């Protein structure tokens, strides 16, 4: 088991189609080279949990996920 010293939990409230957004992003979660991501749906709230070995990896992972969420919302028209 890998222990990641950097952790963050982020909540997003999409304007609509939270379930579709969740299903679109779910295949992207998992283990990266130096980070790990999990995504959950709690009601209409999308929860993203990130773990990383170092701050650089954490920032890169967060930027990737924010970009993915933005792209999905643009495609959905929210």
pLDDT tens, 8-45?
Answer: 999 988 877 889 999 999 999 998 889 999 999 999 89
Residue 21 lies in a domain: yes
Domain count, the chain: 1
Where in the sequence is the domain holding 11, given as residue range(s)?
Answer: 6-76
For the cut 60, the answer to whether the pLDDT of residue 1 exceeds it is: no
For the cut 70, the answer to whether the pLDDT of residue 78 exceeds it is: no
Q: Which residues of 8-43 are buried (b: 16+ CB within 10 A; e: fewer)?
A: eeeebebeebbeebbebbeeebeebebbbbebeeee
Residue 63 lies in a domain: yes
Residue 56 lies in a domain: yes
């Amino acid at each position: 088991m890998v222990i990641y010293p950097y952790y963050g939990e982020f909540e997003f409230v999409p304007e609509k189609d939270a379930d579709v957004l969740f299903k679109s992003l779910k295949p992207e979660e998992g283990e990266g080279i130096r980070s790990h991501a999990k995504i959950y749906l709690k009601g209409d709230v999308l929860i993203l949990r990130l773990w990383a070995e170092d701050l650089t990896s954490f920032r890169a992972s967060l930027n990737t996920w924010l970009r993915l969420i933005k792209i999905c919302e643009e495609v959905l028209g929210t």
